[in-house]
Amino acid sequence: MKMSQLLMPTLREAPAEAEIMSHNLMLRAGLIRKLAAGVYSFLPLGYRVIKKIENIVREEMDRKGAQELLLPALQPAELWQDSGRWNVYGKELMRLKDRHDRDFCLGPTHEEVITDLVRREVKSYKQLPLNLYQIQTKFRDEIRPRFGLMRGREFIMKDAYSFDYSREGLDESYEKMYEAYCNIFKRCGLVYRAVEADTGAIGGSDSHEFMVMAETGENEIVHCASCHYAANMEKAVCAAPQELDAASQEMLPLEEVKTPDIHTIEELSEFLNINVEQTIKTLLYQADDEVVAVLVRGDREVNEIKLKNMLGCIELYLAETEIVEKITNAAVGFAGPVNLSGVKVFADYEITNVINGIAGANKTDYHLKNVNFKRDFQVEAFCDLRLATVDDPCPHCGNPVAITRGIEVGHIFKLGTKYSEAMNATYLDENGKEKVCTMGCYGIGIGRTAAAAIEQNNDDKGIIWPMPIAPFHVVIVPIKANDREIMDIADNIYQSFSEKGIEAIIDDRKERPGVKFNDADLIGFPIRIVVGKKSVNEGKVEVKIRKSGEEWEEQLDQVIPKIISLVQADLEMK
Ligand SMILES: [Zn+2]
């Protein structure tokens, strides 16, 4: 490929719309352009990256026996009504009507379409198990599309669905996909982690997310250095603390204290000269039609996913001010569990170890001292209701955990029979008895993976592509595009690479060397070869490795085999 003929509109300045590095660099390197909010065109270099990721995904899915197909993006409402999701999916579902006034949507996912296909075509257990996948465009009407390819309204996904005739079969299919995903992200040259995840609204039991590690990632990951435990923040388990010995549990008399102008837990602990560990935070939540009180230590945060799962509610949010004031008879900020009537109280495990604690008095400007759950208030249940911290021990081995950040690029679920039951996807077993299929679903965000690769691999000059997903392996930069001798050498190198399957691009533009070098660094080609006067006079070229910054001179007759072995070594990081 000649760069002079390539649509590669690089930009010097960061566009104002770019809030994160991958978005910034994808625009500046001329990989993508915005058409509308959350809707992007892939330009030639960007699309090469996408196709490379897709091909790795395809190879690894095929290797595990999955079969590729292609389902329509346009989906009739009837299928979504069948599964019960038409009315609950909300505004993110991109809905439209055809000329006959029939309802359709542009699919954000394909459980309905695939389950419909399988219920029509699969009749017997002999046709199972099946794992069907596609690489296709999805739509989601995000309220606030942002971060470029990270949260778009139109995006490319690989989605796979497995159909088994038993729970054990699903476990096997899931395991295969887990392995495939590990291979995929490893082959993309990315540092990743598989973490336990919450199954949330999709339903089902087991679930793992695949995270590309990056300081800029939006997800927090709790993981253990001593064992394999890793979970996303929503899912991370906080073990119940050890019970205190009886001697440390002497209860002092309850006491009311005036705490005017105290607004935070820190101010409260300072004012009363106590540790924050001694404080009890009381939050009132609206859980569907009910209001519940939740107690956590003052220095902890409520994990709303755990709370939601524990309560089994659909909607959960902090209760409105008026409701809090009505229930506590006090201004917001003074709620406490003592004499709190009309609501169920749920407490985090740690509250059992708060002896002679401080809590709101349900009276404006007052707190209570020496609050003890054994004496002063009733708790519906003690459970794990808080966000994990670095102080928490690993729930598997008890060693310290660490918290790092990542970007979710893949997600696998054991769906079970949620969709097959709702949509009647059945088969006949060995005895001719009708059974429902057991399903799993498995997604990878293709564009997101490209963006995450950039978040993980960049510097102040631009992108540093891992070799397997780089748009080209090598850029050849002739210092003067109008020097016949230099261009001949550059062309020869290019030809030799092409014959050996190395993807090279030649920067034959009539630009200054500085401009060419900047663009090469910005786009992030893994290897740069510079051809100049020295190549003509001494038969030497300059080689530079983008990632390490390593630079050296190489004899012309040596450069081809050397680069080939470098590229191949990087591609075989399997
Ligand atoms: Zn551990």
Q: Are residues 448 and 486 in the same domain?
A: no
Q: Are residues 353 and 328 in the same domain?
A: yes
Given a cut of 80, whether residue 573 has pLDDT beyond it is no
Q: Are residues 437 and 362 in the same domain?
A: no
Cβ atoms of 240 and 431 within 8 Å: the answer is no
Which of the pair, 545 or 15, is modelled with greater confidence? 545
Output the CA 227–ligand 1 centroid distance in Å.
4
Q: Look up the CATH number of the domain holding residue 525.
A: 3.40.50.800
Q: Are residues 289 and 428 in the same domain?
A: no
Q: Are residues 476 and 425 in the same domain?
A: no
Q: Are residues 418 and 315 in the same domain?
A: no
CA separation for the pair 552, 559 (Å, rounded): 11
CA separation for the pair 562, 559 (Å, rounded): 5
Phi/psi of residue 530, each to 5°?
A: -105, 130
CA separation for the pair 294, 385 (Å, rounded): 8
Residue 369 lies in a domain: yes
The 10s digit of each residue's pLDDT in 231-247 is 999 899 998 888 877 66
Please report which confidence band the pLDDT of residue 201 belongs to, taking 50, 70 and 90 as the band edges: low
CA separation for the pair 400, 223 (Å, rounded): 9
Output the CA 210–ligand 1 centroid distance in Å.
19
Output the CA 403–ligand 1 centroid distance in Å.
13
Domain count, the chain: 3
Q: Residue 15: what residue type?
A: P
Q: What is the mean pLDDT of residues 61-82?
A: 97
Residue 22 lies in a domain: yes
Given a cut of 50, whether residue 174 has pLDDT beyond it is yes
Output the CA 286–ligand 1 centroid distance in Å.
35
Token duo for residue 264: 């935070």
The 10s digit of each residue's pLDDT in 345-375 is 999 999 999 999 999 999 999 999 999 999 9
Q: What is the mean pLDDT of residues 325-342?
A: 94
Output the CA 401–ligand 1 centroid distance in Å.
7
pLDDT at 385: 96
Output the CA 193–ligand 1 centroid distance in Å.
15
Given a cut of 50, whether residue 52 has pLDDT beyond it is yes
**Angle at the Cα of 451 (from 96 to 179), degrees rounded to 5?**
95
Given a cut of 70, whether residue 203 has pLDDT beyond it is no
The 10s digit of each residue's pLDDT in 507-535 is 999 999 999 999 999 999 999 999 999 99
| Percent share of the chain, pLDDT over 90 | 88
Last residue of a domain, which of 363, 383, 403?
383
Task: State the CB neighbour count (10 A cutoff) for residue 524.
Answer: 28
Q: What dihedral do alpha carbons 263, 269, 275, 281 form, nearest 10°?
A: -30
CA separation for the pair 296, 347 (Å, rounded): 6
541 in helix, strand or coil? strand
Cβ atoms of 417 and 110 within 8 Å: the answer is no
Output the CA 191–ligand 1 centroid distance in Å.
20
Q: Are residues 133 and 279 in the same domain?
A: no
Report, in angstroms and rounded to the nearest whole number, the Rg of the chain calculated over CA atoms. 29
Output the CA 1–ligand 1 centroid distance in Å.
50
Output the CA 204–ligand 1 centroid distance in Å.
25
105 is in which domain, residue-wise? 9-188+411-455
Given a cut of 60, whether residue 574 has pLDDT beyond it is no
pLDDT at 156: 98
Q: Are residues 45 and 140 in the same domain?
A: yes
Last residue of a domain, which of 396, 429, 455?
455
The 10s digit of each residue's pLDDT in 125-148 is 999 999 999 999 999 999 999 899
Output the CA 392–ligand 1 centroid distance in Å.
11
The 10s digit of each residue's pLDDT in 394-451 is 999 999 999 999 999 999 999 999 899 999 999 999 999 999 999 999 999 999 999 9
